Chains A and B, each alone.
Chain A
Amino acid sequence: MARRETKDVPRAELREKARMIRREVLRLTDICGSGHYGSAFSIAELLAVLYYRFLQVDPQHPDWADRDRFTMGKGHAAIALYPVLADLGYFPRQDLDGYTRLGSPLGDHPDMRKVRGADFSSGSIGHNLSVSVGMALGLRHRGSPARVVCMMGDGEQAEGQIWEAAMAGAHWGLGNLVGIVDINAAGSDGYTQETLASEPLEDKWRAFGWDVVNLEDGHDLAQTSAALELALNGERDRPCCVLARTVAGKGVSFMEGGWQWHLGYLGPKDLERAYREVEAGEIG
């Protein structure tokens, strides 16, 4: 896989992007009256580093054939993606204000036919790695330098189709395919390991023929950048999976590490507390 340009973005700027994501997640959830805080906050740094440093995309030409692709296997975290797409200029920031309102393009899960910049639609867990395999195959077939990144959850690893896709990616030696597993340990019914244990993930992905990059702290911007550099720009003839250890609800003290905030809503007082913490937070 050819190395593609990486932007040198100051850490403070990336930290501000992650803060912007969290701020918007709070605001949009408030508009909707319900939202996935836990899994949106856990990927804020990952999204910031991916979109502002690594992904080769052109918001003015969202269908550019050689753009890198990003698919959201954990589609319920789309609320974290929309602010990034708006910030990059795919659509006006005001569009965020109508989040989930009748007729809005922006729902709890992404829709590629409604949201400029969304490379695929998702919602049903476990599909997008397969889609990404197809994208990577097609791009390679066409001689494109583009890379495909699929963001998955650790709960999503319970879907059998993930492993069908993992086998296929290894079978075809898709060096242009990168999976990220956001290991925030939380799901709807409790902690992933208790609901249905997905660990040890490293052994599993390696056994399925993938390179593995361990990211010990998916909120540390330097670590995250280094891990994605390895995964996206390494010379490889097989796909690569980044196992990102993250914290569900990261950035808001009373949410951090609790599965209970997988889905929730904050009343005015707690919303104010959460905003304050996000603004004051120096994550990364």
Chain B
Amino acid sequence: MTERNSYMDPSKRPQVDLSESTVGPDFDEKTWDMPGSLALSSQLTTGQVLCELAAEGRDDLVVCTADLARPTQVINFGKQYPDRLFNFGIAERNMIGAAAGLATTGLLPVISNYSFFLALMGLENIRDDICYPNLNVRMIGTHSGIAMGFYGTSHHSNEDIGALRTLANLTLMAPCDGNAIRAAFRSTLDHEGPIYFRAGRGREKPVYDAPPEWRIGGSNTLRGGSHATVLAVGNLVSAALEAADQLAGKGIELTVVDMYSIRPLDREAVRAAARQGVLFTAEEHNVTGGFGSAVAEVIADEGLGCRQVRIGLPDEYSLLGPPTHLYRHYGLDGDGVAATVRQTLKASH
């Protein structure tokens, strides 16, 4: 028997059910199908967390998706609780409205879908059906930013933070890995009102080895350094940590903060960063209107008077390509963040 790729090995990716795979042991080791592909998204822990919560007695949790239960991994919840997963087919607006209806009956619906089909396509429904009536709905928009890579620009979600953070009543958070998703769900379960969790594709490099501290309006300082601060969200948290490691050997000590709560924002973290001089924001999102803009509003509101460098995607439609190539191209990996920080600090001295 040919040794399989690591992602095809169930013992290495225990959360994904490979029994549905049609790839047999006699196939070429590079052959893969949908279940195998899903094994790569190990950071999408939503289904597991929901199963745990249901087992702990949260009978009010139900899941809604639009033909994306597998790629977003909530299929794992559906297998254990089949009468509590509602698959609406490819009808996102209907799904969002129905989730609102479910919430009015005392259930806590969790919508799990790709972010561009949820936040961008369904924006009006999120606004009118969920946020305006201030209903208890949890939304998890996965595959944000350019994570979908070569699927193309239509599948890139670089505008969701900008759109969502204008919606009153909405709490917007960005868990950066699987442990953060766990913490995000559990810590906010009894919050009254809608919450949107912006997550990646699940193939992110993990930041946390255990569920971190998590509160609405909070942040986690992961690295302390005296030269400058990188306030980062999502994928850029691990990129910023990598950059800090690289720069540490070159005489630049960075503070790195996981600013997982985008709305409301941890204003104290922004103030602290501003005291260090140049402040960097980093996100996998258009630099216009996104997390960096939210930070800029605080700087302006409070007259913090510091310079801000926004690391993110330029204000244009993103290229397609393999995700890793895209991150490199746009300077959204460790090397890219390190280069931006180094050049900026060099120029300002």
A residues adjacent to B (C-beta < 8 A): 65, 69, 112-113, 119-121, 123-124, 127-139, 141-142, 144, 148, 161, 164-165, 167-168, 171-172
Contact = CB atoms under 8 A, between A and B. Distances in A.
A156 to B, nearest CB: 13
Interface stretch (B21-29, B104-112, B260-268, B318-326): B104-112
Interface of B: 62, 83-84, 86, 88-89, 91, 93-107, 109, 124-125, 128-129, 132-134
A119 B86 CA distance: 22
Given A112-B133, A161-B94, A121 B128 contact: yes
Nearest to A113: B133
Nearest to B64: A134
Contacts of B91: 161, 164, 167-168
Contact of A168 (B94, B100, B129, B134): B94
B133 A130 contact: no
Q: Which 4 A-B pairs have the closest CB atoms?
A: A134-B101, A130-B97, A138-B105, A134-B98
A131 B89 contact: no
A129 B83 CA distance: 21
Contacts of B128: 121, 123-124, 127
7 contacts: A65-B106, A127-B93, A130-B97, A131-B129, A134-B102, A137-B98, A138-B103
Contact of A135 (B86, B95, B102): B102
Nearest to B124: A124
Contacts of B100: 120, 130-131, 134
Given A113-B133, A123-B128, A131-B129, A165 B104 contact: no
A232 to B, nearest CB: 18
A152 to B, nearest CB: 13
A142 B103 CA distance: 12
Contacts of A129: 97
A79 to B, nearest CB: 20
A44 B1 CA distance: 74
A115 B215 CA distance: 33
